[in-house]
Amino acid sequence: MKSHFTLLPSPVGELLLTTDGKALTGLYFENDDVSRAQASRADDHPIFKTTAKQLKEYFTGKRTEFDVPLNPTGTEFQISVWRALSDIPYGQTISYGEQAKRIGKPTGSRAVGTANGRNPISIIVPCHRVIGANGSLTGYGGGLERKEMLLALESKQSALPIQ
């Protein structure tokens, strides 16, 4: 299946979006090491237009849930971890240990952290909502500054300026 990509400016830096033509398969930050070699650029793809609209609404504080079709690629365990991320309500956080309990792996917080770090659809699959057991901001592929910005947005401390 042919894959497509586009680049999207955002308040948290340029985002790389990927699709398999039917669903969003990736949302990566500019510092993520993602190959575009097998993808063609398709800025006008309907999946990208929908995603861009919903992200703009999210960054301006007008959207708390996304309904873009998603198709992340990963192991069965990773998919279960990422599915659980989507169950964390907007504006709330949980610990890695709590997320591990929610997927039935109460001693699997490290494995959950590793799977969260491989989440291919940042922001929409909200791995930024998972924090350390002591409340600290730990481990975020997009960088702790971005994690802090997203959590501040969701706690209604500020909307992020649209570029």
φ, ψ of residue 59 in degrees (nearest 5): -65, -25
> Of 125, 2, 22, which Cα lies nearest the Cα of 69?
22
pLDDT-derived band at 58 (thresholds 50, 70, 90) equals very high
pLDDT-derived band at 28 (thresholds 50, 70, 90) equals very high
The 10 Å Cβ neighbour count of residue 100 is: 22
Q: Which of 94, 115, 125, 127 is catalytic?
A: 127
Average pLDDT over the chain, rounded to whole? Answer: 89
- Residue 139: CA atoms inside 13 Å, Cβ hemisphere, count? 18
Report pLDDT for 30: 76
pLDDT, mean of residues 74-99: 94
Q: Write out the H or E segment, with its range, that includes residue 6.
A: strand 3-8
Domains of the chain: 3-59 (3.30.160.70), 76-154 (1.10.10.10)
Q: What is this structure's pTM? A: 0.89
Let me know if 127 is a catalytic residue. Answer: yes
pLDDT of 31 higher than 90? no
Q: How far apart are CA 132 and CA 97, in angstroms?
A: 8
pLDDT-derived band at 10 (thresholds 50, 70, 90) equals very high
Residue count of the chain: 163
Report pLDDT for 40: 83
